[in-house]
Amino acid sequence: MTVWNLSTFVQPYLIIAVMLFVIGFFGLLYHRTIIGMLISGELILAGASLNLVAFSRFQSPNPVTGQVFTLFIMGLAAAEASIVLALIIAMYRNYQSVHPDTLNELKG
């Protein structure tokens, strides 16, 4: 394994996926706005997708399965993002703020 043929091994992809997951996890704790937390969640999902595709390329006997499941993750991420953004718009209309700390009451 040299620097130039890194792309033919599974480990570099897994390390990039780990970095994406950890950066996203830190961003989830660090961001102060709900949109920032949504962005970090997308990074976590991206790390998971990269992991799936890398495993299906190098480890699985069938290279199709990981790609199909990554397509499913993309669909679920789109659904999740649309719901969260609708919640943000509704929250801004009611509170004039998208700061997560303003959501501190449960009155319906």
Partner 1 sequence: MHLISSDSIMILSGLVFLIFSAITLLGALVATFSKRLIRSVSGLALSFIGMAGLYYYLHSPFLALMQIVIYVGAICIMIMFTMMLAEPRENNGFTPMGAVLSMLALVGCSLMAVGLIYLVGTYSWPITQRYTAFATVKDIGRDLLNQHGLVFELISGVLLIAIIGAVLIARSGRRKA
Residues 27-86, interacting with partner 1 (CB under 8 A): 27, 29-36, 38-40, 42-43, 46, 49-50, 53-54, 57-65, 67-68, 70-72, 74-83, 85-86
In this complex, which beta carbon is closest to partner 1, that of residue 7 or of residue 104?
7
Q: Is 21 helix (H, G, I), strand (E, B) or coil?
A: helix
Site for partner 1 in 89-108 (CB under 8 A): 89-94, 97-99
Can you say how many angstroms the Cα of residue 53 is from the centroid of all Cα atoms in its chain?
A: 15
- Minimum CB distance to partner 1, residue 105 (Å): 15
CA angle (43, 56, 62) in 5-degree steps: 150
Structure tokens at 75: 């669909």
